[in-house]
Structure 1
Amino acid sequence: KLLTKWYRPSLLFALDHIKFTIMAVLLLFGASLYLAAKTGKSFMPTMDEGSIIIGVEMLPSISLKESLALNLKLQKKLISSVPEIKDIIARTGSDELGLDPMSLNDTDTFLVLKEKEEWREPSKAFVIDEIRKVLDEFVGIEYGFTQPIEMRVSEMLTGVRGDLAIDIFGSDNDQLEEIAVQIKSILESISGSSDVYKKANEGVEYFELEFDKKAMAYYDIGQQELNRFLKVMVTGMQAGIIQEGMRRIDMMVKGDKNLQNSLDKIQKLYYPLENGNAVPLGRLVKFISRAGPVQIEHEQGYRKTIVQTNVEGRDLVSFVEEAKAKIDNEVKLPAGYYLTYGGEFENQQRAAARLAIIVPLALFLVFILLFVSFGSFMQATIVLVNVPLALIGGFVGLYLSGEYMSVPASVGFIALLGIAVLNGVVLVNYFNYLIKNGRKLKDAVIEGSIKRLRPVLMTATIAAFGLLPLLFASGPGSEIQRPLAIVVINGLISSTLLTLIILPILYLKFSQGCCNKKKEKG
């Protein structure tokens, strides 16, 4: 009764001032669109998994023994300096199954944290900052932070671990490295960038063999023969197969095992000649030491390198837009070179493109069902007006809460549209029922709105109360649930309140002709 007492004069005022009411709602909708434009966009909210992974990369030329020693030193320093860390589990290089290929200079360090009650400050950001202070004391390493599930999902979907991965394609490896260094410095200068990372791809020592053609011709030695000699001495060559029961064992002919680890010993070898003499290998071949890349990646027929970064304190899409603008202005790409933007940003763009198709299609199907139900194009359109009314609350709720437009928020909008349309169906269906029973149009609208006030409020309230646990949840996964709950609850508030005012006005204004036609047919 109290709600009816407040609602009746509000409805009558709106019906007497239709233009003013509609203009006020249009202003609200315009303001919500402005807030939506100011709301950040991302793929998925970052979920707190309770653990941290540090990806540590050292110099490419480091040996396995040195890599393990440096990792052990780093881990001891972390344990002693950051009391929030309970245990450390690390893996250097590839695993035994070969499912996670990594170089000897790459280490995944898994940090198991203590319960939050034992932390100096109940903030994971504080813990990561303390870890950064320790890592910054070590020279010659690059590092980045991620989480176990986040790392696996990112690697499976995009092949990289960062929020943003910029792939640089071209033909010359040195040119690619130069462009990558420029882009890395640009990303580091942008607000919100964190753990900017470019894989160290230079510094591996290679030995090139330069054959002395004149000396080889003098001794009548062919390059193919010399290549075969070196292969046999260093890596070996299969000479046959030994059968032992069911086992088949390759019989290899090869030089001393020390030759694989000593260039000096290889240079001191003698090459046997056909006349029985031997000539020092150093007279025939020169071994030249050069620094080269760790690996050369290819994709779509081009060489490529990657620069990646995480984003903190701002939304992903605005960060990428700013990065694109700066890179376009400051980096001049040679002919035949180009960039692509991937990582979590690629997932966000893919999801946005799909939703741009799914949401209009869903609205079209809802409209078809409404048209079939009411048998009136106008009444189906009136009910569908509830959609922008619901968007008002959803957009405002996201902006005021500081959440981003993400996949969970988009799912919340889709769920919200169904509930909002349902309220419109309840009102329009009852208006039609009253008119069919002889009530005048305006009387039917006023009486129907007041009598359907309770069902409409109950529908919205029950749905909103059902989502309250998601809104106030604080456990694992709550970061993903919260945007959905914010959108639906705030959208229900705006949809319910505005539907009870706007829908009667629209029905009264645009159903007059429909009602007159029905009376004439009758």
Structure 2
Amino acid sequence: KLHIDELAAKGISVSTVYQSLNYANVTLPLGSADYTNRTISVRYAGGFSSVEDIKNLPVGFADGTTIIHLQDVADITLSYPEEEYSVTDGTNPIILVSITKRSDGDTVKIVKQVKKVLEQCQQQTGGAVRFNILSDDSRQVSASLSTVIKSGILGIIFAVLVILLFMADWRATVTIGISIPLCILFTFIGLKLFNITLNLMSLSGLVISLGMVVDGSTVMLEQIYRYYSMRNPETGLMHYTVNQSIYRGWDEVALSIFASAATTIVVFIPIALLTGLIGKILHAVAITIIMAIFASFLVALIIVPYLLKLLLSEDGPKVREKERRFDIFMKKFKAFYTRILDKALDNKGFVLLIAVAILLFSAFTATRLGIAFIPSTDSGDFYISIDFPIGTTLEQTKKKVHYAEKLLYEYVPEIQSVVFYEGRSNNRGILTLSTPEAAYAHVVLVPVAERKRDIHDIMLQMQKIWASSIPDATVNIENGGFDRLVGFVSGGGGYGLTLISEDLDLLYKTASNLKNFLLTDPEVVNAKLDTDFDTTTMVLDMAHEYLSSLGLTSYEAGITSAILFQGIDAGRYKDEQNNERYNIHICSDITDRPITQDDIANIHIVTEQGRLISFAALSDVRVEKSISQINHSDRAKTITVSASLVSENTANVSRRVNEYLQEHPLPQGVNSKSGGIVALVSDMIGPMLTALLIALFLVYTVMVLQFERFKQPLLIMVTIPFCFIGVVAGLLMFGSTMNLLAMLGLISLGGVVVNNGIILVDYINQIRESRRTDIAMAKGSKDRDGEWHITLSFAEEEKLLRSCVIDGSSSRIKPILITTLTTLLGDIPMALANGEGAEIYAPMGQAIVGGLLTSTLITLVLIPLLYYMS
């Protein structure tokens, strides 16, 4: 480290020292020579072999005779490079080792293996090396998977209990109890074929499908039991044998089960084919549900009839001496439903008006829903970026960061571990080069079950405390887990708006005004620009003509400047004692204190004539404001205004910014584009709406193929919009936003809610055809092909239609209730889940539960009504 004052006093330039180090530290091959009748190689060994050699290097003369050694004008030590940043655990310096899995790696398995290796290392070193696990992603993964699995188990239990309640037969319960694990097993086989691992998203898809996989089996079971339970009221004998019951039941519902499964599957095909970030997130969910529904179709058509063949007795079901209370309740409910349906057919216009009014009201209520990309999760960790004014030294940064640490430990007792990077910044999840005025931290909290506060409350509290306690610091806190991943992909979480213009001054003024407006928003925690216009820079503007007249070049001036302000390497040397090689780094003490004009005057360059010329004479030294960086997009300059929000809901902030821009339009020549989560939300809506439209078209196509008509599928699809009522109600009830997973739930309802309609319409068609045939056989005549025909009057046709609609609908009320309840109860645990990771998939369950509930209630009245009217 050169002493600038000593160099000036002794008349030695910085470049002279640099050249002396380079010229003296030389080892060269000199060829070969004959020596004692042998040819040997000759080498010039002029390099340094110890620190003492460097200290004793001559760099000049005093009074023309006395040698000035390097140690006379510099401190020469063997040490580590000067600290550019430090890593601590809040109190002690640490060496941080990060282990990252490959894309196909199993997080939980890898972490278990790593822990075993660490234990072995600690034992081998006799405790000299101590390992402290600061962050463990497997904890959150395991907790999230545990939450999903618990929801799935509860869903299975509820589904089995529903069957037991409605069927009151252990054989029916056992059949469904066996069919569910078989569906899960077949689903796992399908996932293996698609190389999909068991993760949060695939398990979420499995839990969602648990309620639906029993639908087909339940319909098949109920229809077979319906014939199996028929007895002659006079003789008490069974109408049908077990085989006959299975055959008749299978024949009547097989096609509707296929159609129901197909409509659900085709809904998720467009989702599975989505690309980009949305596709990556939803692909596993969609494929899992497709596999599960396909497996349930096979189980319903093959396994359930086979199991019933094994379990059912030819003696028929046990005749109860006393009717169950639940059966009495179901009879009363069926009679009540029949009366409601009869009145609805008499008041068609009024019923339709009420239905449309409810739908419009739900559409109006939907405006109260927040909009987000992915629900924010309590991942148990968060990240802190702290920026101090440019020019802050590393030591100053450390002092302020230590104060920030003290506040953190004081107000957050839930801390498990902390890692602080002092002197390094973080840009979109990537640690940048050393920056003295920046710091970065990763805070890990104890598990959710061990703390009372939500991570978002802790983050908001610390944001306010640091803002008031460290006024010269810009603090930004980001949630970890999935939120951080989304923020990394989107270029930053929260709200973002990129302004584009060729005029940098106009761009900065516009961006600053928008930033100031965002800071007044109640939902904005902080706002910033990605470009700093207050950077202070010292400019050394060299007089090139004067340099040339002295026989000097800008290279010599540049080398001198680099050594003074930054330091550079001047070769390497090999220590003879320990055989180690070391870099020779040359720097100055000018950065150890505030720089003054006198320091610049004390810097000299030696001319060819040996004259010492001051830097002050060779350059114009000035301090000016500059820009930290200039970003470009399509060759135009850009500034991004970003804001951290109190929640994942960006709708309100976006609306207020749009209102602000309407009142204060962007100047001519300035354009804008969305960024951050706002951009992801905008990009999400288009593909999801496209997927919804394709799904609805495919659902309609499947039903047209089943019914061989165009009108009846339209009648069934009319009920799809009414599921939106329950979706809005469900999300509002739980305080959730309309996000990617909620939209997936909405799209999935497009295939689920039509299932009840398919069951109703298909059975009404069968009854209608059967009764027309009976009437024709009694009163009609045969044609040449031997088929019975009869022509009914308008009154007779209407009477037949009305009776078929009422009887068919009331006959299907039981299987519809069973399938609806199994799906609802299968998804309710997911909708109510509150463990780690539950925030991500809970809105999907809430949307499905709410939508299915309202659509079923309306379907039971609206579809028979529309069928009757058509």
Same fold judged by TM-score > 0.5? Answer: yes
Q: CA deviation at 1:133?
A: 4.5
Which residue, 365, 370, 376 being the options, matches 1:40?
370
**Bigger relative contact order (CA 8 A; separation at least 6):** 1
Q: Give the alignment partner of residue 829 of structure 2, picking from 453, 469, 472.
A: 469
Correspondences of 1:100-499 after superposition (within 5 Å): 100-101=431-432, 103-114=435-446, 122-124=453-455, 126-135=457-466, 136-150=468-482, 152-160=484-492, 162-198=493-529, 201-212=532-543, 215-216=546-547, 219=549, 221=551, 226-235=553-562, 257=588, 267-275=601-609, 277-312=611-646, 315-330=649-664, 332-333=666-667, 335-439=668-772, 440-499=800-859
Provide the C-alpha distance between the structure 2 equivalents of 1:471 and 1:154, rounded to a whole number of angstroms. 23
In the other structure, the counterpart of 2:335 is: 5
Aligned partner of residue 101 in structure 1, secondary structure: strand
Deviations 1:313-344 (A, max 9, x none): 683123202112213423653x4322222111
**2:118 matched residue in structure 1:** none
Shift of the alpha carbon at 1:171? 3.6
Whichever residue aligns with residue 143 of structure 1, its letter is V
Where does structure 1 lack aligned partners over 5 or more consecutive residues?
244-248, 511-522
Which segment is superposed worse, 179-188 or 146-155?
Answer: 146-155
SS of 1:53's partner is strand
Task: Report if aligned partners of 1:183, 1:331 keep a CA contact under 8 Å in 2.
Answer: no
User: Which among 74, 87, 106 is matched to residue 404 of structure 2?
Assistant: 74
| Paired residues of 1:55 and 1:107 also in contact (CA < 8 A) | yes
> Given the two structures, how large is their TM-score scaled by the length of structure 1?
0.85
Q: 2:379 aligns with which of 41, 49, 54?
A: 49
1:228 Cα deviation from its structure 2 partner: 1.3
User: Which amino acid is the alignment partner of residue 543 of structure 2?
Assistant: D
SS where residue 36 of structure 1 aligns? helix
Q: Distance in 1 between matches of 2:519 and 2:562?
A: 45
Q: Compare 395-404 and 349-358 and name the one that shifted more.
A: 395-404
Compared with structure 1, are the counterparts of its residues 401 and 95 closer, same or farther at alpha carbon in structure 2 (3 Å cutoff)? closer
CA contact (8 A) 2:419 2:442 kept: yes
Which structure has the larger Rg over C-alpha atoms? Answer: 2
Q: What is the RMSD of the two structures over their aligned residues, measured on CA atoms?
A: 3.3
Contact 1:233 1:256 in 2 (8 A): no
Report how many residues are paired: 497
Deviations, residues 489-522 of structure 1 (Å, cap 9, x unaligned): 1211211111111111111221xxxxxxxxxxxx
> Which digits, 9 at most, give the CA deviation of each residue in 1:55-104, with x for residues without a partner?
221112112222122111210232134434444322234489x9422643
Counterpart check, 1:506 vs 2:851: no
Match of 2:297 in 1: none
Distance 1:50 1:238, change over 3 A: closer
Instruction: Give unpaired runs (5+ residues) of structure 2.
Output: 1-330, 575-580, 773-799
Sort the Cα spacing of 1:13 and 1:255 in 2 relative to 1 into closer, same or farther, 3 A: closer
Instruction: State the AA in 1 paired with 2:538.
Output: F
1:436 partner letter: E
- Distance in 2 between the 1:404 and 1:64 partners? 43
Task: Confirm or deny: 8 A CA contact 1:192 1:314 kept in the other structure.
Answer: no
> What whole-Å deviation, never above 9, does each CA across 1:448-494 have from its counterpart, x for those lacking one?
11111111111111100001111221111222222212211121121
CA distance in 1, matches of 2:396, 2:344: 78
- Does the aligned pair in 2 maintain the 1:145–1:195 contact within 8 Å? no
When the two structures are superposed, what TM-score results if normalisation uses the length of structure 2? 0.53
Quick check: 2:381–2:479 contact (8 Å CA) kept in 1? yes
- Change in CA separation of 1:445 and 1:158 when aligned onto 2, cut-off 3 Å: same
Q: 2-side partners of 1:75 and 1:250: how far apart?
A: 36
Partner secondary structure for residue 295 of structure 1: coil
Q: Which moved more, 1:231-240 or 1:41-50?
A: 231-240
Which amino acid is 1:419 matched to?
V
Q: 1:31 is paired with a residue of what secondary structure?
A: helix
**Offset at 1:53?**
2.4
In the aligned structure 2, how far is the partner of 1:4 from the partner of 1:436?
Answer: 23
In structure 2, distance between residues paired with 1:313 and 1:158 = 16
Q: Deviation of residue 230 (structure 1)?
A: 1.6
| Matches of 2:544 and 2:609, distance apart in 1 | 20
Q: Secondary structure at the match of 1:363?
A: helix
Q: Deviations over 1:164-207 (max 9, x none)?
A: 01222334544443333211211122232223334571444322
Q: How far, CA to CA, are the matches of 1:251 and 1:315 in structure 2?
A: 53
The one-letter amino acid of 1:358's match is A
Provide the residue aligned with 2:72 in structure 1: none
Paired AA for residue 490 in structure 1: G
Q: CA deviation at 1:46?
A: 1.1
Over 3 Å counting, the alpha-carbon distance change for 1:16 and 1:344 in structure 2 is same
